[in-house]
Structure 1
Amino acid sequence: MNQLNKICVFCGSSDGNDLAITDTAERLGEIFAERNITLVYGAAKIGVMGTIAKSVLDNNGKVIGIIPNFLKKKEVVHLGLTELITTENMHERKLKMQEASDGFIALPGGMGTLEELFEIITWLQLGLHQKPIGLLNINGFYNDLIKMLETMVRKGFLSMDNYNLLLVASNPDQLLKKMEEFKTPQLPKWLNSDRA
């Protein structure tokens, strides 16, 4: 079983227009606090990001925010976090998030959320970390993305092993269970030989 003491959550800086998303973000925050899981996230007080951070804090949980200097504006950054880490740029931010976390969850969001999700799963694919990555598919938000990944498999651009690196569930409890039970796959031979 994987020890998930700190989980990084990628999600939107907007609220979107589906209340199920913000409701589930609130519930995930409650679960983190109940299980003593520290939230690691992008440090904003707005959107789904702000919703989950507020939920964790309101339930006496811990929140670590990581934000680059250029985004650190008073109207965006959450000033009531357990810890706030400032980085020089976006690349350093993502590296710090990876180093600070035992696993990752993507909630609904936009381009930035997808970019963070695919970078962290590519790092797993390349053996740069061995941490579980979950996709919380709230109200079918990620159905089309999952279909796209299936197309990549069908067309020969994505192996089933790498497709299965992304753990998918529609509710937080199911997803956390999958993440706890995640077993890191062996690296492909071509990567192992380069590292010898």
Structure 2
Amino acid sequence: MKRIVVFCGSSLGFNSVYKNAAITLGNYLVKEGIELVYGGGKIGMMGILSDSILEKNGKVIGVIPKLLEKEEVVHPGVEEMIVCKKMSERKVIMSKLVDGYLTLPGGFGTLDELFEALTLNQLQIEKKPVGILNINGFFDAILNQIDTMVAEGYLKPENKKLLIVDDNVEGIMHKMNQYKAPEKVTINQKIVR
């Protein structure tokens, strides 16, 4: 993988374990020569991750919508900052730039980005690895919800496999690098007459 997008929060959360994982991921990306594409912020998990890479002269590309391009949000140290008009345009730009998607803890925006990436793979618009770094069990409830979606017939078991999960940086990156997209993905649909 040459370039990866990381979805993560503009907050740090209350537990330093999340901040430390972002730093570990940043160090790993620099060591492996993998470029980061991210939301362009200087605050929260986004700021910690980008700072950890920039401090070691790694490559960072920010993609930020005009409405968020404020001094208190946008990272001044990121040399390649792509400013777009809308949030939806941001996702398209990120998608075109990267070889895979990784999600760290965050809020609604982070989950929105994660599930859009999974949906693109389910629809076979893309065939890129989509991973969750499940630090401190942060995503356990969401993973349980995905199991419920399978159990209740709203998600095919083979589509659940589109999501790669691990609780440490080296583990998730190894799994993402080994990922092979399925030949065919089944979309849940029932014809109502």
Considering the TM-score relative to the shorter chain, is it more than 0.5?
Answer: yes
Partner of 2:67: 70
1:45 shift after superposition? 0.1
RMSD (CA atoms): 1.3
Distance 2:27 2:116 in 1: 27
Distance 2:186 2:2 in 1: 31
The residue identity in structure 1 corresponding to 2:129 is P
Distance 2:168 2:114 in 1: 18
Tell me which of 40, 59, 62 is aligned to 2:56: 59
Q: Does 1:183 align with 2:160?
A: no
Distance 2:185 2:140 in 1: 28
Partner of 2:141: 144
Does structure 2 retain, via aligned residues, the 8 Å contact 1:62–1:82? no
Does structure 1 retain, via aligned residues, the 8 Å contact 2:99–2:129? yes
After TM superposition, the structure 1 = structure 2 runs for residues 1-196 of structure 1, keeping only pairs within 5 Å, are 4-188=1-185
The residue identity in structure 2 corresponding to 1:36 is G
**What residue ranges of structure 1 are gaps of 5+ in the alignment?**
191-196
Distance 1:139 1:57 in 2: 26
Secondary structure, aligned partner of 2:171 = helix
Runs of at least 4 residues off by over 4 Å: none
Can you list the C-alpha shifts for 1:99-156, whole angstroms capped at 9, x where unaligned?
0010010000000000000011100110111110110000000011100000111111
Distance 2:79 2:158 in 1: 37
Can you list the C-alpha shifts for 1:146-194, whole angstroms capped at 9, x where unaligned?
000001111111111110100000001000000011011123478xxxx
**What residue ranges of structure 2 are gaps of 5+ in the alignment?**
188-193
Secondary structure, aligned partner of 1:144 = helix
TM-score, scaled relative to structure 1: 0.93
Distance 1:147 1:108 in 2: 16
Partner of 2:191: none
TM-score, scaled relative to structure 2: 0.95
Distance 1:140 1:165 in 2: 19
Can you list the C-alpha shifts for 1:62-119, whole angstroms capped at 9, x where unaligned?
1000001111001100011131001110111000011001001000000000000001
Distance 1:133 1:96 in 2: 17
Secondary structure, aligned partner of 1:78 = coil
1:60 shift after superposition? 1.4
Query: How many pairs does the alignment contain?
Result: 188
Does structure 1 retain, via aligned residues, the 8 Å contact 2:156–2:186? no
Distance 2:61 2:146 in 1: 31
